[in-house]
Structure 1
């Protein structure tokens, strides 16, 4: 039986992208590197059993990374274009023969950011670490989907059905492909993702599974929250699909250089012993950590700055891809 494990199930390792390209980080690159290093150090908790591997694009970036992380964090050089490995690294399923990585097509989030190395980084990483992988003949990013390990998957129409990914792909066809590739049974379709999200609405900024059949979704607490209707619509759709919805506070209206930015506490990463929650210097930062802590009583839930990373468009979940521990 093939199964896509939930993120809270045991990991043998996690790959994390390390920011370095000055063309991609004209502002705040040093701060972003420090945030990524703090995230890597937190996940590399003593006794966690989860090997943390920072993926760097060149030797100079690797030297910078080594100067910021604990000695237990591995640093490797594997060229790539952008750091968002959730979208370009393989998605691993467990089958009768062990792990198998699903390498989906990648076109720079609908042709917006096509960069050399991103199209085949997944295949190269799998080969480097001796992992089996198979190519999928359609475009899908890992941040566009989330699963509960029990056959349920949540995604958004805005992203997966977008004509800039797979022209002409309808909902039934997409659901069939998701079921075949990831061995899921139930696909819950949400509508739009967050405002100003350059990924065209990745679900890992909107709704995340925290237990089988249970998702967390933000709710707006201020009149100026640009995502209030999006959150409400997502919660209604999830409940209609039979999911239990837990509502968490939104980061609210958040701007970077005067423009709305997709700040979201949903972009947390679930490690073997730690859950890392992005912090933005927003009013609900501490509440978000406290309320997510109640959902993961067996883990240490910590808030870590993600303000510099957000300049690049994402946070901790976006830059990471876990490798499950084979049964």
Structure 2
């Protein structure tokens, strides 16, 4: 499995339509997605899953309003239950032999983060639908896994969390050793690193993409909370301590760079899982969520130093 920063042809998105995923806040979401597409399409192809022609027309209007590079945007009639393509979308694998590169897609079972948000039948089949359209072979491990629950450095090392992959709402029949076997067999990795818990309010049960990310083969960024009274302080300190003891696939210590946490954000009394680790690396651009001016700038400057071009 290639690392996210490696040169790639394009990005896949599933267009947002489920208002319940942004309760009371859905109004601006499609326009924000259109702005994301504009930034991405200046650097690479953008492939968008939509329900059909009517949704495609609506999205094209939004993209036109944003002056997105429509020549780099492609629509695919893959209806979805929700918009979280990093989790339910295809994971592309590559096998390089000399100058030849073979591609395939791995299609894990998807159960909407432990069955929390049914229905999820449409999301579950998206990778296989895309593989069929692209004419690529597809592998079906037969266990539950989301793309946001793992991160790789492209050299054989994979990061994940105990909170998510060992949670009984995913694969209760499997222990850590069995899950590691699936990770090795279907991602082609040789070295697996386990962090502990995720941040408060994260209904994915602790996805790694909210915590710690590879930014090059030897470097990770990880979020830390500075306030000892904050409920995220201890789990994030534990993760930081683990990372400082970890090595890559060749036994070399990881370089660990910290990112701040934004101030706590709440909706109807529930803390939201806001995190600067939930960025996306495209060709020549990094998309970073923002929440709070001072830590926003600190996070932006940190990532800018790690991705200078």
Structure 1 length-normalised TM: 0.85
Residue 233 of structure 1 is aligned with which of 229, 235, 238?
238
Distance in 2 between residues matched to 1:224 and 1:19, nearest whole Å: 36
Count matched residues: 292
Q: Pick the aligned partner of 1:199 from 199, 204, 213.
A: 204
Q: Which has the higher contact order (CA 8 A, sep 6+)?
A: 1
Alignment of 1:105-184 (within 5 A): 105-115=109-119, 116-184=121-189
Matching of residue 297 in structure 1 with residue 308 in structure 2: yes
Distance 1:132 1:20 in 2: 29
Query: In the alignment, does 2:47 pair up with 1:53?
Result: yes
* Partner residue in 2 for 1:288: 299
Instruction: Assess if the C-alpha contact under 8 Å between 1:126 and 1:133 holds in 2.
Output: yes
Point out where structure 2 has 5 or more consecutive residues left out of the alignment.
248-253
Structure 1 residue 178: deviation in Å?
Answer: 0.5
Q: Once superposed, which parts of structure 1, at least 4 consecutive aligned residues long, lie more than 4 Å away?
A: 23-26
Can you give the 5+ residue segments of structure 1 that lack an aligned partner in the other structure? 299-327
Shift in Å, 1:237 = 1.1
Q: Secondary structure at the match of 1:10?
A: coil
Q: 1:170 to 1:282 in 2, by over 3 A?
A: farther
The answer as to whether partners of 1:226 and 1:252 remain within 8 angstroms in 2 is no
Tell me the CA shift for residue 282 of structure 1: 5.0
Equivalent residues of 2:2, 2:152 under 8 A apart:
yes
1:301 maps to which residue? none
Deviation at 1:225, TM superposition (A): 3.5
SS in structure 2 opposite 1:40?
A: helix
Q: Distance in 2 between matches of 1:9 and 1:93?
A: 12
Distance in 2, Cα, partners of 1:188 & 1:26:
35
Aligned residue in 2 for 1:263? 274
Aligned mate of 1:33, from 30, 36, 52: 30
8 Å Cα contact 1:65-1:75 kept in structure 2: no
- TM-score, length basis structure 2: 0.89
Q: Which has the larger radius of gyration?
A: 2
Secondary structure class of the residue paired with 1:118: helix
Greater share of helix residues, 1 or 2?
Answer: 2
